[in-house]
Structure 1
Amino acid sequence: MIDNFENEFFGIGIQNGKTPENLGVLWRSAQNLGASFIFTIGNRYAKQACDTHNAVKSMPYFHYDNFEEFYKHLPKGARIVGVELTDEAENLETFHHPRRCVYLLGAEDHGLTDKATAKSHFLVKFKSELSLNVSVAGSIVMYDRGISKPRQ
């Protein structure tokens, strides 16, 4: 992964993404909302059918076979922000986004793995009665970053 950034950056990706449509929509949002790179972990995905802006060809895209490979290639100084609906997660509404981070989302049907949750530097959630579509959840997090409080 990229490891020489002078200022702030963020990447966003999905662990074990469920559908190509969700990936494509997330990539399009990432391109529109200022992500530096996008990624997938695991082999549960296919061609990103809804990536109408071709974000995969417009910004760095990385694929990792498993979480260990992803973690080993984490950019220097980056913090993992896991997006997970758990009691331990901090509310997005009061969260101060790190200057350099990677937002990690899980598939709607399984969420993040236990290992990914344990290795995340931060866990965030937002007000929602039920889990949301992964591309919607990722878009909300990136939008909040763009309008948010000063970075840590």
Structure 2
Amino acid sequence: MINNLEQGFFGIGIQNGKTPENLGVLWRSAQNMGASFIFTIGNRYAKQACDTHKAVGAMPYFHYNTFDDFYKNLPKGAMLVGVELNEKAEHLETFSHPRRCVYLLGAEDHGLSKTAIDKSHYLVKFKSELSLNVSVAGSIIMYDRQAKINFSN
């Protein structure tokens, strides 16, 4: 895990999340993997059984009504990393995670909005033919971040 006295942080969230269960599982993983904050854009988070560690009480949770509201509130110096099956996206296996970043995932049925894709500093994808469950995808991203020692920026 990253020492919080070192420079760097990350947040993770979902744009237009489809189910509260996916959010709860992602928040639980975020808490275990050292996220600094969690967030949603669009659909609101609903308290449910999958957030058994009560992550929303253990770290800051932000909700934004629109992508523009979210984007104008990105932390200073943070890079936006969109997770999307896109021809421009880098493969996660070779991706160097920024030291200060915010990971944004889209719902399984629609993915990220065009605006989110266009405004992302980086896009990453998995070696997968089909999309993954959003909470699984986010957990893989965070695990990969922890597993890699060298950060960019």
Give the alignment's TM-score, normalised by structure 1. 0.94
* Equivalent residue number for residue 83 of structure 2: 83
Runs of 5+ consecutive residues of structure 1 not aligned to the other structure? none
Where does 1:16-95 land on structure 2 (aligned, <5 Å)?
A: 16-43=16-43, 45-95=45-95
In structure 2, distance between residues paired with 1:55 and 1:64? 18
In structure 2, distance between residues paired with 1:48 and 1:69? 25
| CA root-mean-square deviation | 1.3
Give the alignment's TM-score, normalised by structure 2. 0.93
Identity rate, percent: 78
In structure 1, distance between residues paired with 2:97 and 2:149? 8
CA deviation string 1:71-127 (max 9, x = no partner): 010000000000001111000000000000000000000000000000000000011
Q: Indicate if the aligned counterparts of 1:80 and 1:102 stay in contact, CA closer than 8 A.
A: yes
Superposed displacement of residue 6, structure 1: 6.7
Number of aligned residues:
148
* Equivalent residue number for residue 124 of structure 1: 124
Runs of 5+ consecutive residues of structure 2 not aligned to the other structure? none
In structure 1, distance between residues paired with 2:70 and 2:120? 12
Closer/same/farther in 2, CA of residues 91 and 8 from structure 1, 3 Å limit: same
In structure 2, distance between residues paired with 1:8 and 1:150? 12
Superposed displacement of residue 48, structure 1: 3.9
Which stretches of structure 1, 4 residues or more, deviate above 3 A after TM superposition?
none
